[in-house]
């Protein structure tokens, strides 16, 4: 059986038997893959550190008939700061689940890998994680070929202004004359459209510290929810976890 080396980030795992785990890895060379870490649930196993959620490592993997097997791993970045606190942990889980749900197996995408790795780095120190979530969602979908049209009406081609609508199924904005082409389109303010454009074209460094008004953030959340639901058609479990964490923050007065 052949051996191969690859960098990868741990997106998730499930237990196998008494001591093993099946890891979901995301690699620049292989895309999304599953591989077994044998005995990793036992103390002092050499694969233990590299099997942690979000860990970024160099892996040596042996190809298998059904599942590949991890032979060695060398940690490059553990991202332990994400796992230390409940709020970044909840968003990290959501980011990983959204990536898993939106990518096919073994579909190599180096740009997507670099973007997700960068997201893990900024997640460690970003202040407003709700804003980061909106940036991540729109950029992730754009990299995967679902970049929304946000300047011209997707129906008539005219530049949108004043009253604007967003259609998930049609892939972008509709003007006031064409919005009835999609009865599920949602109204968005011109201010929201500007923020959405900045999120699409700006880098994380340029967007660090961006201020977004509450009503704009709410509209962005609504747009993202409809857009992601249309393209993925799958309910993400971690969205409820984030809601629970946010409710806990409110109850604690944080």
CATH code of the domain covering residue 37: 2.40.50.140
Please, what is the angle between helix 214-232 and helix 129-141, to 10°?
A: 40
- The parent domain of residue 235 ranges over 81-251
Give residue 246's pLDDT: 85
Rounded to two decimals, the pTM is 0.94
In this structure, the answer to whether residues 86 and 74 fall within a common structural domain is no
Q: What's the token pair of residue 180?
A: 């009835």
Task: List, for residues 65-112, the tens digit of each pLDDT value.
Answer: 889 999 999 999 999 999 999 999 999 999 999 999 999 998 999 999
Which alpha helices (H) appear in the chain, and where do they start and end?
A: 80-84, 86-102, 110-123, 129-141, 190-201, 204-207, 214-232, 238-251
Whether residue 33 is found in the same domain as residue 136: no
Give the separation between CA 250 and CA 253, rounded to whole angstroms. Answer: 5
In this predicted model, what pLDDT tens digit does every residue of 123-154 receive, in sequence order? Answer: 999 999 999 999 999 999 999 999 999 999 99
**Domain endpoint, select from 50, 78, 106:** 78
Query: Does residue 3 surpass a pLDDT of 60?
Result: yes
Query: Which residue, chain included where needed, has tokens 């460094």?
Result: 205
Mean pLDDT of 227-246: 90
The CB density around residue 77, as the number of other CB atoms within 10 Å, is 14
Rounded mean pLDDT, 152-181? 94
Highest mean pLDDT among 116-120, 176-180, 184-188: 116-120
Assess whether 147 and 163 both reside in one domain: yes
Q: Is the pLDDT of residue 215 over 60?
A: yes
pLDDT in tens, 185-200: 999 999 999 999 999 9
Number of domains forming the structure of the chain: 2
* % of the chain surpassing 90 pLDDT: 89
- Same domain for 222 and 165, yes or no, is yes
How confident is the prediction for the chain on average, in pLDDT?
94
């Amino acid at each position: 059986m052949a051996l191969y080396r690859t960098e990868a980030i741990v997106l998730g795992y499930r237990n196998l038997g008494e001591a093993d785990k099946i890891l979901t890895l995301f690699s620049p060379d292989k895309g999304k893959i599953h591989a077994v870490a044998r005995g990793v649930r036992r103390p002092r196993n050499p694969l233990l550190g590299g099997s942690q959620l979000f860990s970024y490592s160099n892996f040596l993997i042996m190809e298998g008939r059904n599942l590949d097997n991890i032979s060695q791993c060398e940690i490059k970045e553990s991202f332990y700061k994400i796992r230390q606190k409940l709020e970044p942990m909840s968003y990290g889980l959501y980011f990983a689940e959204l990536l898993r749900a939106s990518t096919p197996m073994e579909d190599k995408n180096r740009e997507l890998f670099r973007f997700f790795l960068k997201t893990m780095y900024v997640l460690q120190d970003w202040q407003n994680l709700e804003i980061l979530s909106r940036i991540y969602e729109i950029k992730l979908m754009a990299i995967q070929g679902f970049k929304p049209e946000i300047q011209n009406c997707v129906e008539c081609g005219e530049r949108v202004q004043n009253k604007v609508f967003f259609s998930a199924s049609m892939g972008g904005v509709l003007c006031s004359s064409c919005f009835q082409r999609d009865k599920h389109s949602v109204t968005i303010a011109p201010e929201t459209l500007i923020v959405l454009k900045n999120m699409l074209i700006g880098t994380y460094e340029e967007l660090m510290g961006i201020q977004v008004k509450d009503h704009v953030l709410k509209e962005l959340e609504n747009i993202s929810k409809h857009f992601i639901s249309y393209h993925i058609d799958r309910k993400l479990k971690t969205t409820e976890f984030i809601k629970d964490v946010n409710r806990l923050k409110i109850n604690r007065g944080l």
